Structure formats: C-alpha cells, structure tokens
Structure 1
Amino acid sequence: MAKILIIRFSAIGDVAMTVPVLYSWAMQHPENEAVVLSRPSLAPLFSRLPDNVSFYSADLKGKHQGFRGLYTLFKELRMLNFDAVLDLHNVLRTKFLSLLFRLSGINVYTMAKGRWEKRKLTRRKNKILVNQKNSFQRYANVFEQAGFPVLLNFTSIYGHEKGDISQIGNVTGEKGNLKWVGIAPFSKHRGKTYPLELQEQVVAHFAKESNVKVFLFGGGKEEEDCFKKWTDKYPEVVSLIGKLTMNTELALMSHLDVMLSMDSANMHMASLVNIPVVSIWGATHPYAGFMGWKQLPTNTVQMSDLACRPCSVFGQKPCFRGDYACLYRIKPERVIDKIESIIL
C-alpha cells in the first residue's frame, strides 16, 4: 500500500480537471491512498470521490502564506508519512514544497506543462496549430511516472445518477418537462468573455421559450449587477448568485440539459457531472488542452477563420488588434442554434 500526496492549488478549472484522473486512479488502485492538497474552498470538488481519496487544506492566505508558511505546511504534511508526492501544478509554491520533500527523501513527480508547444500555438507569427496534449493526460502521465498507470474512464462524480436537489427546490422549482439551460456568461479574463450585450440576446431568446428555464451561474459584484439587470428584464430567468453552495451547484448542474459557458471553471464543473457544454472560445483555443472532460468539439463556438487566434493560453493578454474580433464576430444566433441542437 502506498500513500501519495497530490498538489494542485489553482485555478478552479484546473483543479476540477484533476477529478476525472483522481477518480479513475482511486477506483483502479483501491489499495492505495491519496491526499489532495489544495485551497479549502475547492474541497467540495473532491467530496464525492472514493474513500481512498481525502483532502488537506492549504491556507495560502493565512498560516501557510509565503515561504515560511509553506515550510509550516511541509512540516504538517511530513507527519502524514507519504511515499510519493505528485506536483500537478509546477509553480513556485509547489516547487518549493517539492524541494523540501526531496530533501527529506521522498520521491517527487512533476507535471510537464508543455509551455514551449503552447507558445508556438499562440505566438503572433508562424503559429503551429497542433492539438496539444490535454491536462487530463498530463496529470495521468505524472501518476504513470510514479508507478500508477491510469485508464481514464471517469463518467461523473455522481456515477450514473444525478445530484440531490431536494434541498434547493425553492430555488429551482419543479423540472417536469422543462428543458433546463445553464448560462455562465463570465470568465476571469476579457479575452475569454463573450460580450455581455451579445450574451443578453441569447438569454432573451430562451427566456421567452415556454418549455425552457434559464439558470445564471456566477459570483462577484459585477456578475451580480449584470444578473440583476437581466432578471429584471426577464423575470423567468433565475440568478443563482448567493443561493447555492458549490455542492448544491454541482448537484443542480447534473440536472441541466445543457450548459453555456466560456473557457472557464463552469465548463469544467459541468463536465464533472456529465452534461453537454456549449463553450465559447475567443482569445484561447481548445487546442491548448483545456477542453472540458469528454466535451465534444462540435459543441464549441469559435471564429476559426481569424489568423490571430489563438493569441493566449489563458486569455489574459490584451487584444493586439484592439477589437476582440474573435468574440464580437460570433453572432448570438450561432450560440442559440448550438444550444437548440442539443435540447430540441
């Protein structure tokens, strides 16, 4: 029996992408134990994994902040007697922790991010548009290096069932014969966010459909203000801000018929509960390896004829053209048609 430490701190989408790999590993290696080290807010992502996977919180804004705090974290973890450490993040914090474990005699295995290949994919000139190895396979490769080959056969955190939404019926209402459409209109960066004035047209279209109920997913002041304007105009639409925990949000997602999302965390969360996602891609591209688990390329919406795309792996770079054509040229009708092709 081996006990391994899995390190992945952020972002939400990247952490969510570890779940299909961890779930598959846990089912195929029940005699071994894994402890996931991540931010406390992300613990719900791992709450439905097999019993040989547990969670350890890293308080990176408190007692585990900075190098001194990371050393404190290392001393706590060392007491758990790990046989191996798998660094699925490969950033300064995790490199420091990995070094401490190596110095203490523990084998450490680190994910290769493929930075050079992704740079060639996103550079302004002489792009090489080659589909990169996805993050699921990169994570699985680290397990294999550690002596734990993984067959990626994950379906959903709920298995072949749906999540329990009995406690949030006051939010959702009865589904009956309605088609439930989730819309997550925001992402962390402008280069990945479909313009809100165009997204509103999508919301308005489905708000008037008597057999469709729209749920808006998001969080934060900007999103709350936007959702307030939309729900005032379209009272049939339900904003979920402040109404759900991450656990109940995942449960609700499992009952959706489709999710509309950017290249963002909600795409990955919806993928964990085995529902189709229509994803919009602007500055980024599915070729960078961040498509949701088992999501179909046919359900992506993007401008394939723009030579400047993709210009960024994560979408944080400002548009050098200045017009974000990769997003503004996507007509709402394309998005609507893609969603209707799934729910009708």
Structure 2
Amino acid sequence: MDKKGKPVHILVIRLSAMGDVAMTIPVLDAVLEAYPEVRFTVLTKKHFAPIFSQLDRVSVHPAEVKIKHKGLIGLWRLYKELSKLKFDAVADLHNVLRSRILKKYFALDGVPFVQIDKGRKEKKALTRPSNKTFHQLRTTHQRYAYVFSELGCPISLEDSKSLVRLQLSKNVVKAVTQDAKKWVGIAPFAAHEGKMYPLKRMREVIETLNNTNKYKILLFGGGASEAAELSAIEASYNNVQNVAGKLNLTEELELISNLDVMLSMDSGNGHLAANYGIPVVTLWGVTHPFAGFAPFGQPKENVLVSDRNRFPLVPTSVYGNKLPKGYESVMESIPSQQVVDRLINILEN
C-alpha cells in the first residue's frame, strides 16, 4: 500500500475466455494512466500473455489449471506462488469457482479481495423467454472498472488510450503480401451456431468487397476445420488471404493492429481489434449488445443486430448457447448488403 492506503501491487484474475481477457485492456490502461504508482500482475492462461505486452507495469503469471494448478491442491500451490509476490489487493474479474477458492486462501493473509458483480439477475431478466427486461445493462468494461473503484482506484474509461499499431514481423509480411489496398479483417466464426453469420451470406459480403478490387480481405479463424473452410474461400477470390493457422497470437495481434476495419461475430477478435482503436463491425444473432459485451469504444452504427420483430426471444442467452426452435435462421435477418454498406462507409470515410 502507498502512504494514502491505496494498493500499489494488484493481482488481476481473468483466466478466460480470450474476448473477456481482451476486455481487461482498456480498464487496466485507464488505471495505469490515473495511478502511476500502480502495477499489475495478471493471472491468466500463458497463451494470452501477448495481449498485455504493450501495457507498462504489467506482468503475466501463467495459470496452468489443467496441470500443476488443477484441483484444490493445485490451487493451493498457485496461491503459494502468488503470495511470494506480495500483493496489496486482488481484483477478481472472473468470479468463478477457482477464483473463489483463491479468495479463501488470500483471506489467510488478510489481502483485500474484490470480485466482479456479473449482474446475473439482470442478465437473466434480459434473456428470459417471456416478460423480458430489455434495456442496456452495465458493460463488462464498466463492471471491471467498478472492481478497481472498490479497491480505492476509481477511473473514467474515457481516459483509456488505444494500443499503438505494431510493426509487422517477417513472418507476418510473408503471410500477407503488403500493398496499397486497405485491409479488411474478417473473423467469421463463433463458439455457437446462433452467433455465427451463415457462410453463404459471408461469402456474399466477401465477394462484393473482393470485386471492388480496392481491399485486401484477411480471414481469421481458429481450429483446423475452420482453416480448411477459409482456405476454400481464399481459393475463390483474388483479393482474399486466409491467415488462420499461419500465425501465432503475437503475430495475429501485429496484423490486427494494422487493419483498416474488422468484421467479427460476438467473439474475441472484435475485442482484440477494438483495443488498437480499429473500427469493428460486429454481427449479433441470438445474443445482443445489451448484455454488455460489445467491443470497446465502438459507435452504435457498427453494431448490427438480428431482427427482434421476427425473433422476439433475442437475446436468448448471454453466451449464445441457446438456439430455440425456429431460430436457426436468426442471423439471416441481417442482410449481407447492410454489412457491406457499413464496412464501405468506414473504409471510404
């Protein structure tokens, strides 16, 4: 603690998922800007460490929850590792069983430990099938910020700065031929069917952009099956390149930071791009931005949602894992021309 009793070294817990981890960046940046004496250690998966590389006074402690930090004994081992780092406070931005167990361990040392209020009650009211309470809830960024306020470090998210554009490494330049065209990133996949724009419609978007011959379209994806689908799309168009499976996360961030616009689902790539101040157009099916997961700092015009007149149960859940019967075509209610128009409006202005 400093002389005023404010924490100096804060442990930040956010283990997963990538989008939620990425959403910590604007908040941590605002805290670091407002409190020059504060430094963070972030407890997260080792794979996510590059997300934090641009933040000063931030280090990452890898959580190996499937191996040495598994179970009660593993979490005790993790606590003993962390306790050696002498934290003044803990900001739990995850609030799951693992972090609740860590809270009990840190209580042994009397370390202040504040957990995020996920707003489960409000989110349940927003997503229930009948008698919905349909309005904008506090955003995840605001919920994260409130945790630091409770620890004595109130902030204004308006003070958060975008991360700076990264220089492209040789491997990225090799994967993506540089030219004078504007770069459009497209991340067409999502964890659940109800959050993913049909590939047939996405092909319409890609074809329209490709035929202008003004833009390079870069496709981002995850697993091997996704990479294969994207390779098939790449082979169909002159101005499309598939980077899925060709770059590690550090290299993907280099590329994302140099985009002119990103098109994504309600998924992690949109949050990564937003952190660099890149315009992000997001498509929402059975989920809705009212739940608080929209990318940081994006105007409402960049948020394209499904038609609630036709699909009044939207949002059906917070995470998109509930696809009611008859809602299989929910994403079809976002016309591909609307997506194209928004992208071109950004690219040409």
The whole-number CA distance in structure 2 between the counterparts of 1:83 and 1:330 is 48
Decide whether the 8 Å contact of 2:91 with 2:114 is kept in 1.
Answer: yes
What is the deviation of 1:166?
4.6
Asked whether 1:154 is paired with 2:160, we answer yes
Q: Deviations over 1:179-230 (max 9, x none)?
A: 2111000011111111111111111222222111100011202211211211
In structure 2, the partner of 1:342 is 346
In structure 1, the partner of 2:5 is none
Q: Deviations over 1:252-275 (max 9, x none)?
A: 112211111000001100101101
Question: Which residue of the other structure, out of 193, 208, 231, is the alignment partner of 2:196?
Answer: 193
Asked whether 1:327 is paired with 2:331, we answer yes
Aligned 1:255-334 pairs, distance under 5 A: 255-302=258-305, 303-305=307-309, 306-317=311-322, 319-334=323-338
Question: Which residue of the other structure, out of 174, 177, 195, is the alignment partner of 2:178?
Answer: 174
The whole-number CA distance in structure 2 between the counterparts of 1:296 and 1:104 is 44
What is the deviation of 1:5?
0.6
Q: Deviations over 1:233-264 (max 9, x none)?
A: 12431001222222221221122111110000
* SS of structure 2 residue aligned to 1:233: coil
Decide whether the 8 Å contact of 1:26 with 1:53 is kept in 2.
Answer: no
What is the deviation of 1:112?
0.4
What is the deviation of 1:32?
2.1
Decide whether the 8 Å contact of 1:219 with 1:242 is kept in 2.
Answer: yes
Asked whether 1:16 is paired with 2:19, we answer no
Q: Over aligned residues, Cα RMSD in angstroms? A: 1.3
For structure 1, the residue ranges without an aligned partner over 5 or more in a row are none
In structure 2, the partner of 1:131 is 136
The whole-number CA distance in structure 2 between the counterparts of 1:323 and 1:310 is 11
In structure 2, the partner of 1:29 is 35
The whole-number CA distance in structure 2 between the counterparts of 1:80 and 1:258 is 40
Sequence identity, in percent?
A: 42
* SS of structure 2 residue aligned to 1:301: strand
Larger deviation: 287-296 or 319-328?
A: 319-328
The whole-number CA distance in structure 2 between the counterparts of 1:36 and 1:202 is 38
Between the two proteins, the alignment pairs up a number of residues equal to 338
Question: Structure 1 length normalisation: TM-score?
Answer: 0.95
The whole-number CA distance in structure 2 between the counterparts of 1:77 and 1:143 is 19
Decide whether the 8 Å contact of 1:250 with 1:273 is kept in 2.
Answer: no
Asked whether 1:61 is paired with 2:60, we answer no
Runs of at least 4 residues of structure 1 off by over 4 A? none
Decide whether the 8 Å contact of 2:95 with 2:116 is kept in 1.
Answer: yes
The whole-number CA distance in structure 1 between the counterparts of 2:244 and 2:60 is 26
Q: Which amino acid aligns with 2:74?
A: G
In structure 1, the partner of 2:11 is 5
The whole-number CA distance in structure 2 between the counterparts of 1:261 and 1:320 is 23
What is the deviation of 1:329?
2.1
